[in-house]
Amino acid sequence: MAGHKPWGGRFTQPTDAMVEAFTSSIEDDKNIAMEDVEGSIAHATMLGEAGIISAADAETLVLGLEAVRGELLAGTFPWDTALEDVHMNVERRLAIHVGDEVAGRLHTGRSRNDQVALDSRLYLRRRLKEIEGHLLALERALVAKAEAHVDTLMPGYTHLQRGQPVRLAHHLLAYREMFSRDRGRVQDALRRVAVSPLGAGALAGTPHPIRRERVAELLGFSGVTTNSMDTVASRDHFLESMSASAISMVHLSRLAEELVMWSSAEFGFIEIGDAFTTGSSMMPQKKNPDVAELVRGKAGRVVGDLVALLTTVKALPLTYNRDLQEDKPPLYDSLNTWSSSLEITARMIPEVKFRVDRLQVALRKGFVTATELADHLVTRGVPFRDAHGVVGRIVGYCVAEDKVLEDLDLMTLRRFSPDFGDDALEWLDVERAVERRDLPGAPARARVVAALAAAKAELA
């Protein structure tokens, strides 16, 4: 009923209806309802095993909670906004199944503070494992695309200016490295998430002889938290997961930005499949990279979620404060956005077709082998700074004469420096330029093939 206070008899007035609506977390709590039941089953089992409640009551509680879980799975659970949060909704529904007296024993030895901390850790564990799978799928998509383009050369860029030739596979594997690190951050977060907070109570534990390690064991956690006050006050496991989300979304945004640029007529490096593009309501010729643009746009939203929670937590005294009710909306939004962005990008990558002819045209422009000429002079004993100046003057000459480096002959090169050797023009070949870079992490063919093999072995 409206104004009902579920937590006891101190109060003589009902809660104002507006306060009830303002403080309710029901809509957000629905995300952790299954975890609330899972944690409660473990808690009830432990209470019975420890003799804190009778074995019969523990068994009744578990059966009743399983019935509640069935209602949640079937979508028939009757949510009551007057009951403030998920914990009271589950307990009240449990009472319908097992009676008030037995249901009232479930909360022995725990507080909503450590209960919600447990629910959120269970939720995070589930979602992070799901996201780890999406990251693996995206890495595999990038590796497959890279494997198809080991022998495709393209300009590598700095400052969005053509710099040096590289293999397209090397470029794609750079993104795979980013997402591999993201997956590592997820795995790190999972290790710290998987400890049980139950037993911290409201802030100072409980006088009941509960077995914290048993609850952790039942839930598949690696251990228990070590300080009751930190346990209920900390949201590090939220912040760490959301930090990983924000970093990964920045990586997705960078990849999406290149897909947007490369699909434009100005670059023309790729064509994105029709299933991942849209048309214009007015201009019939348009094929818009909307999916990539939305992924790019959603990165800002996830970064904002992280900043929102950091701002909420930054000035909170120990231990629990109601401000922390605002922790879950940005968490849910961050993980949902990250998960869907990863999944759709992994599906889009196989539908990206590279236009090798356009990449070859781009290689001929932008003086991408200028550094090769400078390095050639270095092999002839010229200090690199001097060689850099010589080639800079050659590039200036080409710009003035509307030429590319490949248009020059050896006689012309020697007008700028007598140190150019007979093989100088060979250094302008882009394939040879890439192959000279034969060291770990570089784009020579053997190194890229080895990197692909290592990536495939890890992802297998």
Cis geometry, peptide bond prior to residue 319 (ω within 30 degrees of 0): yes
CA distances from 57 to 60, 85, 106, 217, 296 (A): 5, 24, 9, 21, 53
Question: In this structure, are residues 170 and 443 in contact, taking their beta carbons and an 8 Å threshold?
Answer: yes
**352: helix, coil or strand?**
strand
Dihedral of the CA atoms 369, 372, 377, 379 (nearest 10)? -170
Alpha-carbon gap, residue 267 to 247, rounded angstroms: 27
* 142, two tokens: 């990038």
Closest CA to 25 of 129, 150, 140, 112: 112
* Residues 6 or more apart in contact with residue 137 via CB below 8 angstroms: 342, 343, 346
φ, ψ of residue 170 to 5 degrees: the values are -65, -40
Read off the tokens for 136.
């693996």
Q: Are 416 and 390 in contact (CB under 8 A)?
A: yes
208 is known as an active-site residue: no
Q: How far apart are CA 396 and CA 375, in angstroms?
A: 18
- Annotated active-site residue 417? The verdict is no
Instruction: Return the DSSP state at 14.
Output: P
Q: Which of 24, 149, 159, 334 is catalytic?
A: 159
Give the tokens for residue 211: 């077995």
Residue among 54, 222, 264, 280 flagged as catalytic: 280
Q: Which residues are catalytic?
A: 159, 280
